[in-house]
Amino acid sequence: GVRYSHVIDPRTGMALTTQVTARVIANDGATADALATALTVVGPEGAQRILDKFPDVVISLSVDGRQ
């Protein structure tokens, strides 16, 4: 009954089970894609640490359907 994501958490080696949706606007698609994947792994708790390194990026995160 557990849904597993195709994204693997490198800290555990397991697929994600929390549904995090990340929408990223960046200067190029590769950066947006990489950041969206990273943000789904770290979630809202770790997002600011990543975003501090990318000041031109705009994001929207939702966890299990809640923004």
pLDDT at 8: 95
**Phi, psi angles (nearest 5°) of residue 14:** -110, 155
Q: What is the pLDDT of residues 8-46, one digit of tens each?
A: 999 999 999 988 999 999 999 999 999 999 999 999 999
Residue 21, classified by CB atoms within 10 Å of its CB into exposed (0-12), middle (13-18) or buried (19+), is middle
C-alpha dihedral sign at 40, 42, 48, 52 = negative
Cα separation, 52 vs 4, in Å, equals: 29
Cα separation, 44 vs 24, in Å, equals: 13
pLDDT at 64: 81
pTM comes to 0.85
